Structure 1
Amino acid sequence: MPGSGKKHYGCFNRPKRVRQKDRHIIPSRNGAFIAKLTGRTPSHSDFLCNKCRCMCQHHIKKKTSIPSKVQQVPAQSTEAPPFSPPSIPLPFPSTSRGHASCCVCKRQGPKLVVVPVGVRHHIFITKEVIIPTGARCCPNHIQQNIDNLNPLSDSTLFNKTGITELVKFLRNEVLKKERTRLDFDSSGNLASADYQSLLGIPKSAFEDLLKYVEGKVKVTPYGEGDVKAWYCKCRAGARVVGMCSNVAAILWYLGHARHQRNEKLGVRDWGEFVDDATLVDDSGSSSESDESGPEE
């Protein structure tokens, strides 16, 4: 009899028999996509297999996520940092801005290097000359003749950003100078004028002295700070010989002791060979000067 046979439960998208646990009712949000895909309108009694249901959900999820991404891209791309043209002149000399020639000797060549930020700041502090950002020079000028600059203009044009960066740089330099102490082991903390005022010799002369002394002392480790402290002060105290005990002992040994005996001196109390100035009685010398009276 017709209708008494086994009922066919097939997927609406493809002719395939589906088991009962894999049958899924077609929701309204998937109906338009299924109708467009198959060309037929699904009814309430139709269903999909698990594979076709996952395909419909993936298509709808992808279609709804694309517009949100498209709307976010213009908002991020339209943000641009504010820029103002250089229109504020300041009375600071400046060098050339070009990349094709050296800012020191004006030579053109392919081996020019960009002047580092630290060198540009050093030139501005010492020479009050501004080297523009991106200016180039010969490689040997960075170490030798970077101070021999010939400014091309007597003033420099700045914008708001450039003035802000200049003020921040000067503020950081002032704060750095306030925090720093006398650090003799670092050659960058003291200028040549500081060497002259503290030691009485220029920086180049002290470096030559340090090279000469290097390797002479074998027992006591020392550095640049020890040599500079020798020129600044001595904590041993003054004696009647008119100098500190360290210098007096060295002069006594070089002039007398080393020529008298050959045995090793060793570690001794050399204070017994030198009188303390605080214990010397000056009353006898003062009385003799009083008795002699003024000379005629």
Structure 2
Amino acid sequence: MVVINDDANSDSYEFMDIQVKTDDSSCLTTVENPTLITTINHQVVKLQLNATSSSHTKCCVCRENLRDHAVKISSRDRDFIFFSRNIWIPEGARCCSGHLINNLLSKEVVDQIKPFSIRYQELSSSDVQLLLSKAQTLFKNGKKIFSLDDPRDLNDDEYCLLTSLSRDSFNDFVQIISSSAIRPSCNRSIRT
């Protein structure tokens, strides 16, 4: 559809339909706005990805039967594993609650995750743009050598080496400190 309008100050538009043949499976959508009409090209790409299982009965990490305290893998963890390990975790996949530390998968668990199958995943152009944006964010944040802010950045030995406390003891200490008058600043968080 093409807009024909000689008078830029007018609110009226004339429309002309144009047919476009393409060999791909894209579809065209026309978005109307009083000042602008744009055509958005919605394309879908199908990717072959290493994927974990996704079930309400089995853990996607250890593949054991889920017990009472199963939790859904967060979007943040799914993105992290996809970009760091090249393993796709389908939305809605569940794991044992024991695999989490502060609601995030522990570093040991992230290293333990293995692909279960090859999955063909369809992604729209907006999904691809979102993944690229998330990859840029992870890349920017990944420039740090280590961080105590993300509990999965360090394993237990690294916590002991840096703080002389186990990870669990450090997390307990952070809980005590966060209830005190100490506040985060632009240079540090409660954990650092």
Question: TM-score, normalized by length of structure 2?
Answer: 0.47
Structure 1 or 2, whichever has the larger Rg, is: 1
Kindly indicate whether structure 1 or structure 2 has the higher relative contact order, using CA contacts under 8 Å at least 6 residues apart: 2
Question: Structure 1 or 2: larger helix share?
Answer: 1
TM-score (normalizing by structure 1) = 0.32
Which structure features the higher share of strand residues? 2
